[in-house]
Amino acid sequence: MRRFALDYPEEVSGIVLVDPMRIEEWPPLDPGKQSEIDRGKKLFRIAIPAARVGLARLAVTSLFLRSGPRCAAVCRRRRQGRPARPRPHQRTRWARCRARSGPSLPPHWSRPGNYAGMRRHVEAVPDTVREMRNAEPIQKIPVRVLTPGNSTPLTDEQIGRIGNRVQQVIAPASAHWIHLDQPDLVIDSIREMVTAAAAQSMAAAD
């Protein structure tokens, strides 16, 4: 998204980054995480043929069924107006997925194409880091960065490397998947960015 905004600034009115990748934490800048990339590539090499013969669907469906009680607890807390962040043993990725997306997730996570796309993403991490390492900051375009509450906030230096109109918002009840933990925060951020862009466009037209 940052690269697109830098290459086509006339096409971008605002950006919302949801826990964006921090390039300093990945190879080649941080070789210590190369093992994670290697494990990911091996996993996806297994997952793609597994998805083709239906094993991935069986495994994913089983995980979603086992997450049922935890999912129910998450939903019940939200209906009661209690904090969205449940107790640690309830906060599994599958429970959050099921709570928010219901039956639409198993088919997606069962597709060979899903794992092929994830494999290409993981394989491209080093090239992405090299490309963005010395990228210039985005100028004039407003950027909102949503940072999970369980992560270290971006420093002023890191924010400055993103752009000159960056606002960081902490999602206090979220892990990496902010769109599942605090979807309203993501939705409101996008709506506010669209509203501000529309107002600016109308002002310019006047």
Q: What pLDDT does residue 37 have?
A: 96
Q: What pLDDT does residue 141 have?
A: 97
Q: What pLDDT does residue 86 have?
A: 44
List of the chain residues with pLDDT < 70: 65-103
Q: What pLDDT does residue 98 have?
A: 60
**Residue-wise DSSP of the chain:** -HHHHHH-GGG-S-EEEES---GGGSTTT-GGGHHHHHHHHHHHHHHHHHHHTTHHHHHHHHHHHHTHHHHHHHHHHHHTT--S---GGG--HHHHHHHHHGGGHHHHHT-HHHHHHHHHHHHTHHHHHHHHHTPPPB-SS-EEEEEETTSPPPPHHHHHHHBSSEEEEEETT--S-HHHHSHHHHHHHHHHHHHHHHHHHHHHH-
pTM, rounded to two decimals: 0.80
Q: What pLDDT does residue 16 have?
A: 98
Q: What pLDDT does residue 26 have?
A: 96
Q: What pLDDT does residue 20 have?
A: 96
